[in-house]
Structure 1
């Protein structure tokens, strides 16, 4: 797996900033809200009503309707809760560097049933899971990183790319992204900001949009 390149990271940041609907703080303020709303496996209708508009805004539902996905959410609610407590709760304080796909896979596999696709697209499960544990589950966006892959493949690309990057460069990029977020946002970097997954995502964006 190729390590992160400084210029690719910088290109990813520039491309992100061209997207007027994407926040300049790289969702830092959103992560604070999502952390406060995390139901920790208690997936009630009230939580779903709050997260559904965000999934819609992030273009995770199309071409299905909110009603279609809500019906499947209700159908699989108990499985979501069970697999959250089995796979996610034990590692929820870690980030992607501290877990493997096999440890957490059962949860995104259930999530994918809420919006089944022929290709096994990573888009919906990645965004749903990212809202809950952004430091573990990277978000996949077709327009940003391109291509088509399963969520398992994308998860492992993010994890292995970060691990292949020298520690000194990782530290440099963490400091740089912290500076950018705090300069462009409305507050300091939140405690749960997904540093590793966000930096690799930006580098992959930069590879696609140099």
Structure 2
């Protein structure tokens, strides 16, 4: 189903008034994350900087940092292997140019760092989003709601963007860029995940009209 202007506007409004999330929609964060991206070399020093962000984004609960770190140590080799096999070849693309089957192994390994009975999308989506935000959309229960696997959410984001008319997509991209650049005067970071962020905002608008 295509997104529309009312949904997008409602999502932006909710983000700006009902959360303490940054008004640049994490534009500056994405530039920092890109600079810190280990490109498959998942070292202890990288993890020490990455773990607090996962904690701040409430991705770990109810597990502790020590619990997840133990699982990270256990699966670090598989993370590196699947990154180089699945993610590295497409890391310069966005979700419009990537199919789930191309990258599914990496979030599959990421999910092992915080196993859940319901195969929740929250942890793997945040873990993967911080590494390749233009490919991996982030799932947040408070914002989007519902329960689904990450595969389902990935494909829903991708198909919804594709179902939205090209002219409307271009308008949303321009509008979001203006919103970002209107706060603090910073330019839109070239690696900003426009497609996934716009659909996320529209989904928020559907849940919080």
CA distance in 2, matches of 1:18, 1:179: 18
Superposed counterparts of 1:10-159, under 5 Å: 10-159=9-158
Q: 8 Å contact 1:24–1:185 — kept in the other structure?
A: no
Instruction: Give structure 2 stretches of 5+ with no counterpart.
Output: none
Deviation at 1:37, TM superposition (A): 0.1
TM-score normalised by the chain length of structure 2: 0.99
Q: 8 Å contact 1:28–1:185 — kept in the other structure?
A: no
CA distance in 2, matches of 1:121, 1:98: 25
Instruction: Give structure 1 stretches of 5+ with no counterpart.
Output: none
Deviation at 1:146, TM superposition (A): 0.4
Q: 8 Å contact 1:12–1:209 — kept in the other structure?
A: yes
What count of residue pairs does the alignment treat as equivalent? Answer: 209
- Residues 105-132 of structure 1 show CA distances to partners (whole Å, capped at 9, x for unaligned) of 0000000000000000000000000000
Deviation at 1:18, TM superposition (A): 1.7
User: Matched residue of 2:143: which SS?
Assistant: helix
CA distance in 2, matches of 1:171, 1:207: 20
Instruction: Give runs of ≥4 in structure 1 deviating > 6 Å.
Output: none
CA distance in 2, matches of 1:7, 1:176: 13
Deviation at 1:20, TM superposition (A): 4.1
CA distance in 2, matches of 1:72, 1:110: 10
Aligned residue in 2 for 1:167: 166
In structure 2, relative to structure 1, the CA distance for the partners of 1:99 and 1:56 (3 Å cut) is same
CA distance in 2, matches of 1:48, 1:74: 10
CA distance in 2, matches of 1:64, 1:19: 27
Deviation at 1:184, TM superposition (A): 1.4
Aligned residue in 2 for 1:207: 206
Alignment of 1:4 onto 2:3: yes
- Residues 29-69 of structure 1 show CA distances to partners (whole Å, capped at 9, x for unaligned) of 00000000000000000000001000000000000000000
